[in-house]
Chain A
Amino acid sequence: MPSRHQVRDRIDLFPTHTIAGYGVRAGRTLPFGATLVPGGVNFSVYSGAAAGVSVVLFAQGSRDPMAEIPVPDEFRIGAVWAITVFGLEHEELEYGYRIQERADARAGDRCDRSIIVSDPYAKVISGRNVWGVEPDWSDPYQFRSRLAFDDVDWEGDRPLRIPPEDLVIYETHLRGFTRHPSSGVANPGTYAGLIEKIPYLKNLGINCVELLPVFEFDEFDNSRVNPATGERLFNYWGYSTVAFFAPKAGYAATGAFGMQCDEFRHLVKKLHRAGIEIMLDVVFNHTAEGNENGPTISFRGLDNNTYYMLTPEGYYFNFSGTGNTFNGNNPIVRDFIVSGLRYWASEYHIDGFRFDLASILDRDQYGAPLANPPLLESLANDPVLRDCKLVAEAWDAGGLYQVGSFPDYHHWAEWNGRYRDTVRRFLRGDGGLVGDLATRIAGSADLYAARGTRASINFITCHDGFSLADLVTFNDKHNEANGEGNNDGSNDNNSWNCGCEGPTDDPEIQRLRIRQMKNALLILLTSRGIPMMLAGDEVGQTHQGNNNTYCHDSPLSWFDWSLVEHNAELLRFAQGMIELRRAHPVLRSGDHPTAFDRVGCGHPEVSWHGQRPWEPDWSPEGRLLGVMWCGHRPEGVRPDYLYVAMNAHWESHQLELPGLPVGMCWGVAVDTSRPSPADIVSPGYEVPLAQNAYAIAQRSAIVLLGIDS
């Protein structure tokens, strides 16, 4: 007999009150933020500083609110105000909150009834929809929260879960990668534009793109005109987040139509189909609100004491160097950060996150380092983030330096600044570095013994500092174009100009510079650990000696695609080195190498050599290192032998090579001193050596493979 009871609708989707002309009811406390529900929108917001909260509603693009709905106190659960408002046209809706401060306001509370604050959980922000379009500065509500459709047809897309040790990371600025007129894409400087360059990335061989900040930020933050040049300077890099749940609209070709979420997901799908992971650079160490003189956008106006590290008197601690410090280990903020990353991992299929100035996340509310920081532990053990790469820039601007000691919980990896510094100094010819270099290229066991090589993100260049081309072209930084008197940017570049500061038409110096760049790429891509390259290094991109291009939305920063042809030799070399790394798993094991013969080949897994085999020169005058790797071949049939030698000396040397089993000889795969195409040969075309010896040229590096004689 059929049931008489038919449930047609939910029993909680009708208004119980009318406020400001809208039907409303007590909302669902969870989830936080604004959520589409049948017939309306559910708003939920936390504020421990509020006596009252109003939801302020705007018709899209309207300057003045169309309604302000005070949330009845009876709708509050704890410190969370929640209300469901019916009859809203969510596609054209913008919203915010107005906070009435508690009568017993605490030192540090900065609620202001005259300010409409944005929703920290907003999935879309309106206000900077098209990059660089001057906003209406008289509009008091600059960054307007909006709702987004959350339905996605992922068409079977899943995170790629590439083993960390198999990654080759490519760090790039989303806009800068395709903004240059030479890019030839239909939508320069956008998510759609990056999609058009996926074939280039595939051809290069990288399998992970790490994007500089793509959470919504204000490119006009600290924007100014360079008084010397008249050039407009922007907040170009984006290390100043406005909204942690929203992709930057100005990076979308469809941002003007509010479709940045869909376009970004489109990018993720396309990258994954190409076998490329996507990592996001996330900036939870501070926000765009700055110090007490900065704008109140969201967190400050909601609950300043909770969201920021404050002194007992209510002033901002500044461990980020930007004016404020996000209070990551506060339980509420911790929940916010974890929720945010869960959101990106689950709703955008992001494969990993790199945390800017991550040591700040190890501090308590007063800035003291924590032995067991709950935020870092939570992230490392979160079930949604379990397969995500978590990478820490393990230092901050307050003096914490934790490379090798960042609380890892068997999950976190680190940008290995020691690797960067050692390799740079070795390349320029500093003495006494052979031992340190050996430790670095073997995966930095002194730093990461407990975690394996997967904990080490090896890099020589990144967005901070010189590009690879500039590393070999300049001794000193040249940041005059930043308008700060060349006082910004690192002074500790460990660079060498090869004999002339800046561009030169001296062919010897030009050849040396190319060779030095190849040397750097060779060392990076034959080291254990996870290599990270800076976009443009593969084609010799220069920033004219500027090592801090954070404010330049111009050709100074943009990837110049004409270099693909102009520096085809270097690009070919980079491609070849990435291919070589992929072909030889012994170079990318997740474990630190041992002195044991793991594969029964008669040689230890790793061994060190100098001009003579088995006799490395660890002395202060040593500038040459040979390393022999023995591991499994990809097909697993017989052992794989590689010999890598790096000569940073200004003289060539005769190398005596370690012996190989009978029937084998060494074949030259790479020699950075040789002109292209002999600098790197295709697999299977290694040039066999008749003798167990090789002349390694000054300031060059080689890779030899054990081949059948």
Chain B
Amino acid sequence: MSFNATLTTAGRTAMITLHGALDKDSDQEFREKVERAATLDVSELVLDMSALQQLSAAGIRAIAYARQQMPDDVQVVIASPVEQVRRTLLAADFGDSMVIRE
């Protein structure tokens, strides 16, 4: 399954929209988007996962990387994960460092 990530901004919110499967083959593209977002003056980073169909262990690590890259005062939100992705997110301890929003 292919992957695509796009970065947009609206006010002080940056959004990375993910499509397809985030795994070890695609995480580099995602990380690059995160690194670009980290240079922006935003208060919130939203990871729109409504079109993300699969998330692997490598993908979880890429998301953890996103939290690590963003300044502490930037809220990182995981938005609209599909069921398979949601179950995968269970494995990761994001509850205190990120918000999962339906």
Contacts and interface: CB of A to CB of B under 8 A. Distances in A.
Contact of B91 (A89, A262, A270): A262
Interface stretch (A251-259, A337-345, A534-542): A251-259
A505 interface: no
B68 interface: yes
A149 B91 contact: no
Given A151-B61, A253-B90, A91 B56 contact: yes
Interface string B70-83: 00000000000000
Contacts of B88: 254, 257, 259
B90 A149 contact: no
Interface string A82-99: 000000010100000000
B101 interface: no
Interface residues of A, number: 22
A402 interface: no
B97 A155 contact: yes
Contact of A149 (B61, B68, B93): B61
A89 B23 CA distance: 12
Contacts, number: 54
A704 to B, nearest CB: 44
B87 A253 contact: yes
A87 to B, nearest CB: 14
Nearest to B64: A153
A262 B60 contact: yes
Given A253-B87, A257-B56, A266 B92 contact: yes
B99 interface: no
Tell me what chain B mostly uses at the interface: helix, strand, loop, or mixed: helix
Contact of A91 (B58, B87, B96): B58
Contacts of A544: none
B24 interface: yes
Majority-rule SS of A interface residues: loop
Contacts of A263: 90-91
Contacts of B40: none
B57 interface: yes
Contacts of B87: 253-254, 257
B57 A269 contact: no
Interface string A256-286: 0111101101100110000000000000000
A514 B87 CA distance: 41
Contacts of B97: 155
Given A91-B23, A91-B24, A153-B68, A259 B91 contact: yes
A263 B57 CA distance: 11
Contacts of A254: 87-88, 90-91
A515 B58 CA distance: 54
Contacts of A174: none
A589 to B, nearest CB: 36
A100 interface: no
B65 to A, nearest CB: 9
Contacts of B90: 187, 192, 253-254, 259, 263, 266
A262 B57 contact: yes
Contacts of B92: 262, 266
A259 B56 CA distance: 8
Contacts of B60: 259, 262
A155 B97 CA distance: 10
A263 B64 CA distance: 14
B93 A269 contact: yes
Interface string A226-257: 00000000000000000000000000111001
B72 to A, nearest CB: 13
Given A91-B58, A257-B87, A155 B93 contact: yes
A248 to B, nearest CB: 14
A149 B64 contact: no
Nearest to A266: B93
Interface in A636-683: none
Nearest to A269: B93
Nearest to B89: A254
A259 B84 CA distance: 12
Contacts of A252: 91
Contacts of A258: 57
Interface string B23-66: 11000000000000000000000000000000011101100100
A255 to B, nearest CB: 9
A453 to B, nearest CB: 36
A177 to B, nearest CB: 17
Residue of B24, B56, B87, B90 most packed against chain A (CB within 10 A) = B90
Given A257-B57, A266-B90, 9 more contacts: A91-B24, A149-B57, A151-B61, A153-B93, A253-B90, A254-B87, A257-B56, A262-B57, A263-B91
Interface of A: 89, 91, 148-149, 151, 153, 155, 187, 192, 252-254, 257-260, 262-263, 265-266, 269-270
18 contacts: A89-B24, A91-B56, A91-B58, A149-B61, A153-B68, A153-B93, A187-B90, A192-B90, A252-B91, A253-B87, A254-B88, A254-B91, A257-B56, A257-B91, A259-B88, A262-B91, A266-B91, A266-B92
Closest 4 CB pairs of A and B: A259-B91, A262-B91, A263-B91, A254-B91
